[in-house]
Structure formats: structure tokens, C-alpha cells
Amino acid sequence: MHAQPSRKTGSASSAASSFEHADVGLPVPQRYWAMLVIALALTLAVLDSAIANVALPTIARNLNASAAASIWVVNAYQLAITISLLPLASLGDRIGYRRIYLSGLILFTVASFGCALSTSLPALALARVVQGFGAAGIMSVNTALVRMIYPPSQLGRGVAINAMVVAVSSAVGPTVASGVLAVASWPWLFAINVPIGIAAIVGGFKALPMNPGHESPYDYLSAVMNALVFGLLIFAVDGLGHGERFGYVTLEALGALVIGYFFVRRQLTQTAPLLPIDLLRIPVFALSIGTSVCSFCAQMLAFVSLPFMLQENLGMSQVETGLLMTPWPAIIILAAPISGVLSDKVSAGWLGGIGLAALTAGLLLLATLGPHPDPLQIAWRMALCGAGFGIFQSPNNRTMLSSAPRERSGGASGMLGTARLTGQTLGAALVALIFGVAPQNGTIIALYVAAGFAAVAAVVSTMRVTQKAAQPA
């Protein structure tokens, strides 16, 4: 695979040239348009990870499918994203982030239209696989593009916007789905992506910057091995959480370990590996990855278990549950931009440690709610969790991105997304496992486990205070 041609046209060309030589990011008007495109596309990709969950019963009835079979509407999307995230990030380093991003956005938009027109479960699942590959194109290089859009001195602001979009889109997915289903049928969950996707595509061609890439050959065998390792791991973790036969889970885990061993050995011989093991040798990058995995695991444990606690333990309605969980994402919207600006001046180790300590405290306070709390008692605890998560995420992502060499921004972006997905997958599987082992007290136990992961993340984050990034931002 060769680098994209050096010939460029229009405003994107002049912006790219300015970026490559002066390292000042995009000029201010174009910078805002580029970030709007990033935000729109990322919202669609992340939202569709959660939005289908709420509609599964309706989809199963409408398409005459079993509840178990309908799960593939969710799993197909998640699996496609996870197995292709790192290969597409590596490809972005070679042929340009803009090309990968726009190709992914186009594929996602077309596949969304296919989902809306599906009349059978296999057709819908297939369209969701294609949609997942498109979402991976968006997620794999979005932070690499943010690094090109903003100058190094303001990188924290761009990363904060990115982090805010991811966090809020993940949190409000069920609420958005419920709102759409209240006024329209399930195909509209996917049809509404089409006009937004088209607008983002048009804006992307006009505003997103280009990078030259490099001419290293693409490692197709590593891409296949990556897909097998992450695919088998997902099946093993999901099977463990849902009580599949232990023999099957063991075989899947062993298969992932064996292939993973040879996969890692192969990456150690590459100058620009698909799995960026070389970046993990940078201490601050490795610690940021660990912080991200643990924190997203904690968040997913809470998001999945809290509705059960509010509805089954405390007798809240679905509407009340949605309203009481709203302070979490709402406070993230306020905290993330402030933390992003601070991250350009204050150590991410301290900011992350403070934020994750607040998240730990909020989760413990939620786990120890009395039997008859009033709504305000629940709401301020949710707000504390959201503030903690919002304070942590932007500095963590900025450090992860800026500690990698600039020409490896795609690999760093892919690892950022992989860390998030790994944490979310592990958190969801742990909730299922806890509910299976302790059905009576599962919600409370899940919140204590979430607090444990958040506390570990806080400790790991503060370990970065004494570390220096190996590369300049």
C-alpha cells in the first residue's frame, strides 16, 4: 500500500500544507467546521453502539426472530468495530487519516440505509456488520485528525470535545432510542443517520485536513491475526458472562492466547506494527491505556447495573430512571471542556487521579444508598460520577495521543478506541456474570466492583506524574 499522492486541491490542500510545515493546525474558521464534522460522525458511530439495545424486543417481534438471535443486531456491530479498529488505524498511518475517516463515514451512512430497509434478521445483522466496519473507520483515526486540526498548545481543547462526544453519546443512547421509538418504528433508528451522515460527508470533504502517509507495506497477515485474537476474546468474555458451556469458552480463550502469542511476536519485528507495541514501551502511554481500560470498565458496570437498581430495588419507572441517570452525562458536558483546557497546563496524572477518585466516591455512594432515597440524593451522586469521569477523560486522551510520535498518531488513535471498547466489553460481561452468580444483590455488587476498577484507575493515573512523554506533543 502506498502513500496517497502529494497533489491536493482546495482549502483542505492549503490547510494540510500549513499543518505539515508550520505545525499550527487548521486556521480558526476551518478548524470549527472540521471539529463539527468529527463530532457529527463520532456521535453517529458511538450512539449506534448503544441505540439498538433498547429496540431489540421490538425488532425481534417485527422480524419474527427469537430474543437470543436478535442479540446479533448488537453483537455484529460491536464485533466488526473491535476486529477492524487497529487495522484501519494502521492503514490510516499509511494512506492518510482523512481518506480512512471519509471512507468509513460513507460506508456507515450507506449501511444505515441498508439497516432501515432490512426485512429479515440475517439481512439486518449483515447490514450491521458493514455499518460496524464503517464506524471503525470513523473511530480509528478521529483523534489522529484532532491532532492535525489543533496546534499542540491547544490540543487539550480538541481532545476534550472528542471525549465529551464519546462519553455523552455512550450515555444517552438508550434515551435517544426510547424517544425515537415513542414516535416512530425501529427502522427510523437507522434511517435518521442518513441525512446527518450525508451532511458530515459533504463537510468532511471541504474541511478535514490531509496528511501524506508513508510507503511502508501493509501487513495483511497481522490484520487477520488481529481480527482472530480480538474476535475470539470477545466471544470468550461474552460467553463467560452469559453462562455458555465452560469448554467452549475455554477453547475460545486458548485460541485467542495462542494466536495472540504469535501475533505479538510478529509485531515485535515490525518497524510500524499494526498492534503498536512500540508505543506501549513509552511508560506514560502504557499507563494511560491501563487507566482508560479500567475507567471505561467501571463506567459500563455502572451504566448496565444502575437501571436495574433504580427500577427493581427502588421501584422507579423507566422515565424516572432515565431522568435520574441524566446528571451523569450532563455534568460530563460541563466538566470535559474545562478539564481539556486545564490539560494543556496541568499534569494528566493529577487531573486523572482527582477525577477518578471522585468517580470512585460517587460509585460507592450509589452502592450505599438507603432503601428509600429521595431523587435529589440519587441525582447528586450521579452528578459526582459524571464530574469525575469528565475531569479524567480529556487529559487522559490528550496524554495518550501527544506521547506518541506524530507519524504514529493513527496507531495511538486506534489504541485509544481499543482501550475504550475493551473496557466497555469487559464491564458488560462482568455485569452479566455478577447477575448470574448473585441475582439478589447483583446490582449492588456490580457498583462495588465498578468502584474498585475506578480506584485502580486512579492509582494508575497518578503513577504518570513522575513520567515524561517520550515525544513532544
What single-letter amino acid sits at 447?
Answer: L
And the C-alpha cell for 440?
439478589
Please list the helix, strand and coil fractions of the chain in percent, rounded to the nearest 5, in that order. 80, 0, 20
Q: How far apart are CA 363 and CA 424, in angstroms?
A: 17
- Name which of 17-26, 353-362, 366-375, 421-430 the model is least confident about: 17-26
Buried b (16+ CB within 10 A) or exposed e, 309-340: bbeeebebeeeebbebbbbbbbbbeebbbebb
Say if residue 202 is exposed, middle or buried (CB neighbours under 10 Å; 0-12, 13-18, 19+): exposed
Residues 422-437, mean pLDDT to the nearest whole number: 81
Looking at residue 242, its pLDDT comes to 62
What pLDDT is recorded for position 162? 82
> Does residue 243 register a pLDDT over 70?
no
Confidence grade of residue 458 (pLDDT, cut at 50, 70, 90): very high
The pTM assigned to this predicted structure is 0.76
Rounded to 5 degrees, φ, ψ at 28 are -55, -45
Mean residue pLDDT across the chain: 83
Name residue 15's amino acid. A
Of 410, 467, 471, 333, nearest in space to 147 by CA: 410
pLDDT at residue 279 is higher than 90: no
DSSP for 202-216, written as a single string = HHHHHH--------P
CA distance 441 to 427: 17
The full set of domain ranges for the chain reads 1-219+270-275, 279-473
- Cell numbers 460513507 correspond to 106
Cβ atoms within 10 Å, residue 175: 18
* SS3 label, residue 334: helix
Per-residue confidence at 14, pLDDT binned at 50, 70, 90? very low
Alpha carbon distance 36, 13 (integer Å): 19
DSSP line for 358-416: HHHHHHHHHHT--SS--HHHHHHHHHHHHHHHHHHHHHHHHHHHHTS-GGGHHHHHHHH
Model pLDDT, residue 67: 66
Nearest C-alpha neighbor of 373 from the set 329, 318, 310, 326: 310
User: What would the pLDDT profile of 143-190 be if each residue is shown by its tens digit?
Assistant: 889 888 988 888 888 888 887 787 778 767 777 887 888 888 889 989
Domain 279-473: give its CATH code: 1.20.1250.20
Q: What is the pLDDT of residue 2?
A: 41
Q: Where are the alpha helices (DSSP H) in 71-186?
A: 72-95, 97-117, 121-149, 155-183
Determine the pLDDT at residue 113: 96
* CA pair distance 78, 238, nearest whole angstrom: 12
Lowest mean pLDDT, pick from 22-26, 96-100, 345-349: 22-26
Closest listed residue to residue 214, CA positions, set 432, 454, 2, 447 = 2
Q: Give residue-wise pLDDT tens across range 265-276.
A: 998 888 778 888
Cell numbers standing for residue 222: 497481522
Among 1-10, 307-316, 337-346, 412-421, name the one with the lowest average pLDDT. Answer: 1-10
Highest mean pLDDT among 6-10, 345-349, 445-449: 445-449
Contact (Cβ atoms closer than 8 angstroms) between residue 296 and residue 424: yes
Residue % of the chain over a pLDDT of 90:
30
Q: Euclidean distance between the first and final Cα of the chain, in Å? A: 28
| pLDDT given for residue 131 in this prediction | 95
Domain 1-219+270-275 identical in fold to domain 279-473: yes
Give the residue-averaged pLDDT of 299-318: 82
* Residue closest to 91 by CA, chosen among 209, 4, 197: 4
Asked: is 1-219+270-275 a CATH 1.20.1250.20 domain? The reply is: yes
Least trusted range by pLDDT, from 48-62, 72-86, 405-419:
48-62
- Give the residue among 187, 188, 201 at the shortest CA–CA distance from 137: 201
Contact 91, 146 (CB under 8 A): no
